[in-house]
Amino acid sequence: MVSNKQSIEYLDISINSNSSEKCLGIIGCLGGIRDVAVTRILEVGPGGGAALDGLADYVEQNETEPIQVDILENFISKSWALQQARHRLNSLGVPTTQIAGDLTRTPFKANSFDAVNASSVMHEVYSYGGNYEGLNNAIAEISRILKPGGNFIYREVYPVDANLQTLVRQSFGLNSWKQFVKLFLPKYMSSAPHPYQPQEIGLQEIDGKLEGTIPVGLARDIQRHYITFRDELWRSGLLGFRPTTNTYRETEWLDEARTNKKIYYEFTGSPQISKMATFPKDIFAGEDAGGQYAEGELFDAVTDEVIGYALEKLRDDERLSSLVASWLHREGPEVYVYDNVDSFIQRVRTVSSKENDDDYLLELEPESVKVVARDYYSAYLKRALGEHALSDAKILMSFTKCKAT
């Protein structure tokens, strides 16, 4: 695993959000578990503990059967937010244990857990743990350690409906997107365990745009990586402004029909690239108890303008160059889209049945598969990429360990 994914800042801020969504599957399992003295849950790859924080919220407000939580990550996380979430659960009578280990070969006995929660984990297993072989090994191990009737809770970026290698047309007209694709694509193609061939990439510059056909799975990965890249630059403060911590993800709509919301922000001082300092002055829309805010659409447009200029001038700013290099090192080898939904469901069925001929994992009801739309991101992508944008969403699935019939 790339080392700076273990940094406290990355765990506590970058990936520590959406707690209610990340614990949704766990909460859904609690009422359905029967005939156990203690419900034992395995939280895999906890990040900053968002799912555990959401579970603590639920336990505070509801009567539950006794619960025990084991936490598995491939290193002992020093995340402050994770330790706070553990402390909350412990104080509520939910003991937690943190263990360093590999999801493809855990230290647990067979039939140990009532639920295994893996939020935004399986794409990392795929990316850094041996591609499809590592992914299959992780699924087999989850099947092994689940009790009969136990649930595997899966949450990831919604992939695509088509075969990943289906060619689609893409057009990157904004300078920020053009510069990003030129920066990101060589690193991704050379270091990520993707299934694409160079000859499938048909992008070229035409009339100021970077356009052509690429595999749809790659198009999804480019979109998702741009959003994480944009978030990284925001948080750094090097653009001269950034969304205020813990407020920019909240939904306070100015115009919900247009998916336009308030973005609270702060200035961070003049960046070294002097021209960039002139852009933020145009975004102010108002001020209230939450601070000064901008209209989301304008905030996004100004951000893209600043990013495009910044990427053209990387050599002029050592701090920015270092940040971009660090982000590329951490995220460039990462593949978000490794299966479409149907392929992943079939993979879980097939791999889990090979682990034990008597058991397999199978989604049981339509509500076991849930797509959570990211309307704000989708609206932004539509503005940035036009008709070629892919809607942004998360997918949540719950698989139950069942007897083969």
79 assigned to some structural domain: yes
Give 11's pLDDT tier (boundaries 50, 70, 90).
very low
245 assigned to some structural domain: yes
The domain boundary residue, chosen from 306, 331, 356: 331
pLDDT tens-digit profile of 267-309?
887 555 545 555 555 677 888 887 888 888 888 988 898 899 8
Domain total in the chain = 2
The domain boundary residue, chosen from 277, 309, 331: 331
Residue 317 is part of which domain span? 167-331
Residues in contact with 208: Cβ distance below 8 Å, sequence separation at least 6, in sequence order: 173
Contacts 24+ apart (CB under 8 A), 205-212: 205/178, 208/173, 209/171, 209/172, 209/173, 209/178, 210/171, 210/172, 210/177, 210/178, 210/181, 210/182, 211/169, 211/170, 211/171, 211/172, 211/173, 212/169, 212/170
Least confident range of 128-137, 261-270, 272-281: 272-281
Give 317's pLDDT tier (boundaries 50, 70, 90).
confident
Question: Residue 36 maps to which CATH number?
Answer: 3.40.50.150
Phi and psi dihedrals of 385, rounded to 5?
A: -115, -5
Do 250 and 178 lie in one domain? The reply is yes
Do 88 and 222 lie in one domain? The reply is no
Q: Are 398 and 29 in contact (CB under 8 A)?
A: yes
Do 59 and 116 lie in one domain? The reply is yes
Give 254's pLDDT tier (boundaries 50, 70, 90).
confident
390 assigned to some structural domain: no
Do 32 and 133 lie in one domain? The reply is yes
